[in-house]
Structure 1
Amino acid sequence: MARHSVIDGTAPLGVVIVGAGFIADHHGAALRASSRARLAGIVDVDAGRASAAATAAGGVPWTTDLAAALARPDVGAAIVCTPNVTHEPIALQIAAAGKHLLMEKPLTITAPSARAVVDAFDAAGTVVMAAHTHRFYDYARAVDDAIAGGAVGRPVFARLALLGGWIWPDWRAWVLDPAKSGGHALHNGVHLLDLVSWWLRDEPVSVYARGRAQTAAELRIHDYLEMHVEYARGADAVCEMSRGHRPSTLDRRDVLIAGTEGVLQLPADGWGSTVVTESGTSLLHPQAANGFAVQLDAWLDAIADPRAERAMTPADAVRAVALGVATELSIERGEPVTLDEVMEGVRR
């Protein structure tokens, strides 16, 4: 019989953060600002790091033992911020404990393991969501709202570029080890691959990509990516992702959506957007919100009503993993890779 987390609907959901690194601080801030959930503790394999993070969060409990944290009756869920290669075993442990999960993207680093995680939460009757936070940023939601409102008709082409400088602390960072991160396409490229697929409202069928070790020849990942995605109904997307631009503080974003009835463009040098149709040009104003807080609310909504439409579904998370894997394979082979190949034996 599946075990379920029993949460008092009148009390905030107790959530532990697993992995006390950089991104955990953003999730912790969202929890502290929420009236629907509370930070119930910190889990990290490094006792010093766990203790320091717990102290910084106001003295919440901490432990190096995930099983002990999940066994606490006041803990109903976890947000996992650990290296990508650890995602599958940690997720399966959380599912077995009957708790809900918000997993930092990617859900896992292979399509079969992503499906195994989704199946485990289905069996447990609990909610799993991948933290593709860009879906909840102002610009992404404003673009999607405009498309949903018919601003460009049926979208047929998307271009998305996210260009930045070096963000990792040094050469020992786990994200630079493809065995631990899955490669840059899975660690950061999935943001773009997920967004364009969401905006285009179409199923990807193949990826053709190239990558460069832009920062240094010794780099073991491709910190610059170009990705072309083809879709089932004829749409196309071109994505450009970089952590190798200079200066290192550069932060540039460029969005263009072309549809059957117009073009939507988010200029690279500003936050305002324009929609161009035969009727003329109009402005699109993004919503002002904290992406991590909006994402947390979306996850809590799914927990409160598992039957409601989700802002990020488990199928979306599996698809993003498959797109990342296909990208890495395409770079390695120098040819397009189909999603069918990556998902072989995985699709239900």
Structure 2
Amino acid sequence: MERGSATLDSRPEQTGVLVVGAGAIANEHLRAIQAAGTATLAGIVDVDAGRASASAHANGGARWATDLAEALSWPEVDACIVCTPNHTHGAIGQQIAQAGKHMLVEKPLATTVQDATALVEAFANQHTVLMAAHTHRHYDYARAVKAAIDDGTIGRPVLARFAILGGWIWPDWRAWMIDPVKSGGHSLHNGVHLLDLVTWWFGEKPATVYVRGQKQTGATLGVYDYLEMVLRFENGATAICEMSRGHRPANIGHRDVLVAGTKGELALAWDGESSLVIDERGTGQVPPVSTNGFQAQLEAFLAAIMGEPSAMSAEEGRRAVAMGVAAERSIQTGLPVQLEEAA
């Protein structure tokens, strides 16, 4: 069997990974590939030749192209990591599926439930791995909460209060991330991190999403950069999630986790992984020494290619899209939205 076919039966010792899209987030994935013991960088693709060549040069003179079809024909390519704008994921994913390659795609899986469903079906038909890059699942704090719930320490979770608050992270006002047509809206682009995590933590089926959005940074902003999201599960449990990219000071990230269960409570303070520093330059943080989420995510993806259970199934990626779409619809209507309706 040719190396480029990359079905589960081929099981290459080294997985050749093609990075599609050479923007800022691609750098995180490229560093993870360089550090991985069972992955090699097969090449880089970007529609901008200057960006593709610069990224390839910065990564050891890797092969590069501006045409995805050309790159997918390279025999060294077993899998792809897609780092392109959200609205392109559906079409790019279909092309990768038809080429018989595995795909790790930056969340969300797609910007519509229809496109997400089509991707799930396309990769299932090819018997290749499809995994959405919900990187927060692979950070230490998220794993710690999941483990504490799964081992029964607090009993059955009935309520969660989860907040991730920070400042502006986008390059400028032209960024595609703040264009609701290209990103799908902030609920789908960033808020979905929280919706997915609490659903994963609880292990329950979500029923309704109710969201209020505010434009904190400016009235002309295309997306709501502050979100209050209430997710209710079919078993009656509730998660209250708060996501902001409009807080000040912008360089301080604030995260709080509180989960109440039938036997107790779990609390993770916002400064649990880092230290606050105040000096003549202002306020800052000393980064924590913890697991690299992108590295752990890549290792999980490679393991899935080798036949291990996926750390995030394709169906979970589709469900996350449904929650994000429902959240955006709730902002517009001012009403709770049923997940079945969104799906």
Superposed pair shares fold, TM > 0.5 = yes
Is 1:129 aligned with 2:131?
yes
Alignment of 1:67-216 (within 5 A): 67-216=69-218
- Structure 2: gaps (5+ residues): 275-287
Structure 1 equivalent of residue 290 of structure 2: 288
C-alpha deviation, 1:11, in angstroms: 3.2
In 2, the alpha carbon distance for the partners of 1:96 and 1:12 equals 22
SS in 1 for 2:104: strand
In 2, the alpha carbon distance for the partners of 1:112 and 1:244 equals 31
The answer (yes or no) to whether the contact 2:5–2:78 under 8 Å persists in 1 is no
Q: Deviations over 1:194-233 (max 9, x none)?
A: 0000011111010010001100001010000000011011
The answer (yes or no) to whether the contact 1:4–1:124 under 8 Å persists in 2 is no
Structure 1 equivalent of residue 280 of structure 2: none
In 1, the alpha carbon distance for the partners of 2:110 and 2:124 equals 16
Is 1:335 aligned with 2:327?
no
Structure 1 equivalent of residue 58 of structure 2: 56
SS in 1 for 2:80: strand
The answer (yes or no) to whether the contact 1:4–1:125 under 8 Å persists in 2 is no
The answer (yes or no) to whether the contact 2:11–2:305 under 8 Å persists in 1 is no
* Matching residue within 8, 12, 15 for 2:14: 12
Structure 1 equivalent of residue 283 of structure 2: none
Scaled by the length of structure 2, the TM-score of the pair is: 0.93
The answer (yes or no) to whether the contact 1:14–1:77 under 8 Å persists in 2 is yes
C-alpha deviation, 1:320, in angstroms: 0.5
Q: Deviations over 1:27-81 (max 9, x none)?
A: 0000000011111111000000000000111110010010011111110110000
C-alpha deviation, 1:244, in angstroms: 0.1
Q: Number of matched residues?
A: 326
- Structure 1: gaps (5+ residues): 273-285, 344-348
Q: Runs of at least 4 residues of structure 1 off by over 6 A? A: none
Superposition CA RMSD, Å: 1.5
In 2, the alpha carbon distance for the partners of 1:85 and 1:91 equals 11
Equivalent residue letter for 1:318: R
In 2, the alpha carbon distance for the partners of 1:46 and 1:10 equals 31
C-alpha deviation, 1:103, in angstroms: 0.4
Structure 1 equivalent of residue 317 of structure 2: 317
The sequence identity of aligned pairs, in percent, is 58
C-alpha deviation, 1:288, in angstroms: 3.4
In 2, the alpha carbon distance for the partners of 1:311 and 1:287 equals 23
Equivalent residue letter for 1:322: A
Q: Deviations over 1:308-336 (max 9, x none)?
A: 43211111101100000000000000010
Structure 2 equivalent of residue 222 of structure 1: 224
The answer (yes or no) to whether the contact 1:16–1:75 under 8 Å persists in 2 is yes
C-alpha deviation, 1:151, in angstroms: 1.3
Structure 1 equivalent of residue 259 of structure 2: 257
SS in 2 for 1:159: strand
